């Protein structure tokens, strides 16, 4: 089952890929269906009003994750890739004031967020923890159209029917494509690498080039890295309190200034690399928490880990160049695709092991590859990083992607570098295969109480008093 590098690294806005980008995409998709001719409507009857209901984890932590805002933006005609984070508030305010959506180039419908957007915590939808439904009514308030969508992690959205088809195929992922190296797991990836003599990045590149030209691929990869780097740079210049009511202060800029000061004064710092990794990761996740422009890697909540490791590579390794950035991203995407196809990258499905754990594994693989690791060493690096995130729960305080998420990305980055460093010093042989770690993550996620899967009903979310 093939997932493109651009399925995993999607440019959008924060704070959550599953709870912000996914619902925005679903709302935009509903609008498109509504305006199309693929559903039966009685002759002469017009849609007057639309509505939406959020279920499961989207209902529990939707407000903290900005899901309500994302649905309004989607119904107003915005999509994650192009929405301007600086204009989002005014668009939401206009819809709220006018009680109407007027997406450009489309019909206008009544929609009062206060009554037409419902957080339904009592009736979870059966397909997935992140379910939502959209409705269209006529002037007499008769239901004309209802569509159910699921946000399955990393910004991916599927309809009810698509989800059933995926489950029937035994995997919850996008449609399969014919590619020259169709590895479904790490064992197959290593066998194909051995047989072809290609690196993981080279195999991934060949696969991607069946969908697009080399130039398009390289431009796309450079655009992804530009967006990641831009997010780090913006995060390092911002100060103040992040939105949502927790009153969590941004720290990346202040830490960055301290580190610069130490460097200017030639003060020794044995933790220099760790400090930079943490600052880079926190800069991204603070931007994400503030609703800024970020790249899923593989999700928004885990968006800081991989860019921090890649930025570390450029900072500390003089041999780093543009080609190595592309190889890093391709290798990381190969590992991320295997994890998503065989387990999950969604905190609502398997806890934070699937988000920051996957991000750390992807970053470790990417770093090991550009440091010259063999495919076996790369697989080992990913395995070490994932293994030591197993069992990690998702318990964001107040449903906001701030605590523990921001620091957690920093720690995910530190673990990724350690994992790559350990792996590259070995010969690739190791005790726990990556596939076993992925399967363990899947099973652990299945056994995990719902309290620890992005519902904010357990863990830190109930043990830390909000003030």
List residues binding ligand SF4 (CB under 6 A).
301-302, 347, 352, 355-356, 394, 396, 401, 404-405, 408, 454
Q: Is 321 helix (H, G, I), strand (E, B) or coil?
A: coil
Q: Return the C-alpha torsion angle 261, 263, 265, 269, nearest 10.
A: 110
CA 93 to chain centre: 26
* Of 352 and 385, CB closest to ligand SF4: 352
Smallest separation, CB 104 to ligand SF4 (Å): 32
* Of 205 and 442, CB closest to ligand SF4: 442
* CA–CA distance, 399 with 60 (Å, rounded to integer): 8
Closest CA to 200 of 37, 23, 381, 52: 381
* Of 52 and 403, CB closest to ligand SF4: 403
Smallest separation, CB 347 to ligand SF4 (Å): 3
Smallest separation, CB 344 to ligand SF4 (Å): 11
* CA–CA distance, 161 with 155 (Å, rounded to integer): 18
For residue 143, what are the β-bridge partners? 137
* Of 373 and 399, CB closest to ligand SF4: 399
CA Rg value for the chain? 22
* Of 229 and 408, CB closest to ligand SF4: 408
Smallest separation, CB 146 to ligand SF4 (Å): 29
Smallest separation, CB 346 to ligand SF4 (Å): 8
Closest CA to 127 of 147, 109, 107: 147
* Of 64 and 220, CB closest to ligand SF4: 64
Smallest separation, CB 243 to ligand SF4 (Å): 15
DSSP state of 301: T
* Of 101 and 397, CB closest to ligand SF4: 397
141 to 40, 51, 133, 301: CA distances (angstroms): 17, 11, 17, 38
Smallest separation, CB 82 to ligand SF4 (Å): 24
Q: Considering all CA atoms of the chain, what is the largest pairwise distance in Å, rounded to the nearest integer?
A: 78
DSSP state of 19: I
DSSP state of 248: P
Measured on CA atoms in the order 117, 103, 85, 99, is the torsion positive or negative? negative
- Please list the alpha-helical segments (H only) found in 117-251: 160-169, 186-196, 200-208, 214-235
Smallest separation, CB 402 to ligand SF4 (Å): 8
* Of 201 and 350, CB closest to ligand SF4: 350
CA atoms in the 13 A half-sphere facing the CB of 366: 33
Q: Is 144 helix (H, G, I), strand (E, B) or coil?
A: strand
Smallest separation, CB 156 to ligand SF4 (Å): 15
Burial class (CB in 10 A: 0-12, 13-18, 19+), 460: middle
* Of 119 and 187, CB closest to ligand SF4: 119
């Amino acid at each position: 089952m093939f997932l493109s590098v651009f399925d995993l690294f999607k440019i959008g806005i924060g704070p959550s890929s599953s709870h912000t980008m996914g619902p925005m995409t679903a709302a935009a998709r509903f609008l498109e269906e509504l305006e199309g001719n693929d559903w039966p409507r009685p002759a002469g009857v017009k849609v007057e009003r639309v509505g939406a209901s959020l279920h499961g984890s989207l209902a529990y932590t939707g407000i903290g994750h900005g899901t309500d805002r994302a649905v309004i933006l989607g119904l107003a005609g915005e999509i994650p890739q192009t929405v301007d984070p600086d204009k989002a508030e005014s668009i939401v305010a206009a819809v709220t004031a006018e009680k109407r959506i007027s997406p450009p180039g489309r019909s206008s419908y009544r929609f009062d967020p206060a009554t037409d957007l419902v957080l339904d915590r009592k009736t979870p939808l059966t397909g997935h923890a992140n379910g939502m439904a959209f409705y269209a009514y006529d002037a007499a308030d008769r239901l004309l159209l209802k569509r159910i969508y699921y946000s399955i992690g990393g910004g991916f959205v599927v309809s009810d029917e698509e989800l059933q088809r995926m489950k029937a195929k035994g995997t919850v992922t996008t449609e399969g494509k014919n590619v020259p190296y169709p590895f479904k797991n790490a064992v197959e990836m290593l066998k194909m690498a051995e047989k072809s003599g290609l690196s993981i990045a080279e195999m991934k590149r060949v696969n991607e080039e069946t969908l697009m030209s080399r130039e398009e691929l390289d431009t796309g990869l450079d655009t992804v890295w530009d967006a990641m780097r831009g997010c780090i740079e913006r995060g390092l210049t911002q100060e103040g309190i992040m939105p949502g009511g927790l009153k969590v202060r941004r720290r990346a800029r202040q830490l960055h200034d301290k580190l610069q000061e130490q460097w200017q004064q030639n003060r020794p710092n044995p933790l220099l690399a760790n400090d930079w990794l943490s600052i880079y990761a926190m800069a991204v996740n603070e931007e994400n928490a503030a609703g800024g422009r970020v790249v899923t890697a593989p999700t928004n909540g885990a968006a800081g880990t991989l860019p921090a490791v890649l930025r570390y590579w450029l900072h500390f390794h003089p041999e780093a160049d543009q080609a190595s950035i592309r190889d890093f991203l391709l290798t990381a995407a190969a590992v991320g695709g295997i994890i998503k196809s065989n387990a999950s990258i969604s905190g609502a499905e398997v806890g934070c092991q699937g988000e920051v754990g996957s991000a750390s594994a992807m970053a470790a693989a990417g770093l090991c590859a550009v440091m010259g690791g063999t495919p076996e060493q790369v697989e080992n690096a990913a395995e070490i990083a994932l293994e030591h995130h197993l069992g990690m729960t998702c318990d964001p305080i107040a449903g906001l992607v701030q605590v523990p998420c921001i620091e957690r990305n920093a720690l995910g980055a530190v673990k990724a570098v350690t994992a790559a460093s350990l792996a590259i010093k070995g010969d690739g042989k190791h005790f726990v295969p990556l596939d076993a770690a992925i399967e363990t993550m899947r099973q652990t996620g299945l056994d995990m109480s719902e309290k620890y899967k992005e519902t904010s009903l357990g863990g830190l979310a109930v043990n830390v008093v909000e003030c």
